[in-house]
């Protein structure tokens, strides 16, 4: 298993990982989000995990802001993360997160935010951001899903609202949207 910075020749393989991991329309949206993040944030940290020359996992960290009372703080957003289904539960996702956080720490990034399952991310140092004085960028993000990790450059005055880059809004990749009955195939229950 090798872990390295994504290269341009990986783009198709990375897209395939996201399509297979997320599936359906959401998979396609994530592929578009990744393309846009590469374009909009050339300094984004994009790592791939390789097995026998095949890309099997991908993680991306890109710029975001924290609107703190004293000043805007450059922070990072962890999204997306995916491991191809047949390679899941072998520690690949965890390794990608750990490697990314280490590189961001070395770059002096103070805070990394994400939306995700606390059952997974709490093992990797993330905790509920609301408990540390941070505010969600959308009411559609459940409190428990809004998570943060504080790195070496973090200072206690760094509190406030997390602000996604425009790219996440452009692709409507913030929070959860309501699922209509039609979409999940739920009947009215009266027939």
Ligand X SMILES: CC(C)(COP(=O)(O)OP(=O)(O)OC[C@H]1O[C@@H](n2cnc3c(N)ncnc32)[C@H](O)[C@@H]1OP(=O)(O)O)[C@@H](O)C(=O)NCCC(=O)NCCS
Residue closer to ligand X by CB (options 91, 142) is 91
Work out how close the CB of 46 gets to ligand X at its nearest, in angstroms, rounded to a whole number: 14
Interface positions with ligand X (CB under 6 A)? 21-22, 79-83, 88-94, 116-117, 119-120
Work out how close the CB of 138 gets to ligand X at its nearest, in angstroms, rounded to a whole number: 16
Residues 6 or more apart whose Cβ sits within 8 Å of residue 143: 128, 130, 136
3-state secondary structure of 179: coil
Residue closer to ligand X by CB (options 18, 158) is 18
Residue closer to ligand X by CB (options 56, 163) is 56
> At how many degrees (to 10) do helices 11-22 and 24-40 cross?
140
**Token pair for residue 122?**
């709490």
Work out how close the CB of 56 gets to ligand X at its nearest, in angstroms, rounded to a whole number: 9
Please choose, from the candidates 191, 190, 182, 173, the residue with its C-alpha nearest in 3D space to the C-alpha of residue 64.
173
| Ordered alpha helix ranges (H), the chain | 11-22, 24-40, 92-106, 118-121, 166-170, 181-184
Work out how close the CB of 94 gets to ligand X at its nearest, in angstroms, rounded to a whole number: 3
Residue closer to ligand X by CB (options 38, 160) is 38
């Amino acid at each position: 298993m090798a872990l390295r910075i994504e290269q341009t020749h990986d783009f198709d393989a990375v897209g395939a990982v996201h399509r297979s991991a997320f599936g359906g329309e959401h998979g396609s949206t994530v592929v578009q989000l990744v393309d846009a993040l590469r374009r909009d944030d050339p300094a984004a940290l994009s790592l791939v995990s390789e097995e026998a020359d095949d890309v099997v996992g991908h993680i991306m960290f890109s710029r975001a802001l924290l609107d703190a009372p004293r000043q805007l703080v450059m922070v990072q957003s962890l999204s997306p993360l995916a491991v191809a289904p047949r390679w899941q539960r072998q520690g690949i996702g965890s390794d990608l997160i750990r490697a990314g956080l280490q590189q961001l720490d070395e770059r002096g990034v103070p805070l990394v935010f994400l939306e995700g399952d606390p059952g997974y991310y709490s093992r990797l140092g993330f905790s509920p951001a609301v408990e540390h004085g941070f505010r969600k960028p959308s009411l559609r993000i459940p409190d428990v899903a809004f998570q943060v990790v504080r790195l070496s450059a973090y200072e206690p005055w760094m509190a406030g609202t997390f602000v996604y880059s425009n790219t996440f809004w452009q692709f409507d990749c913030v929070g959860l949207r309501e699922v209509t009955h039609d979409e999940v195939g739920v009947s009215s229950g009266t027939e």
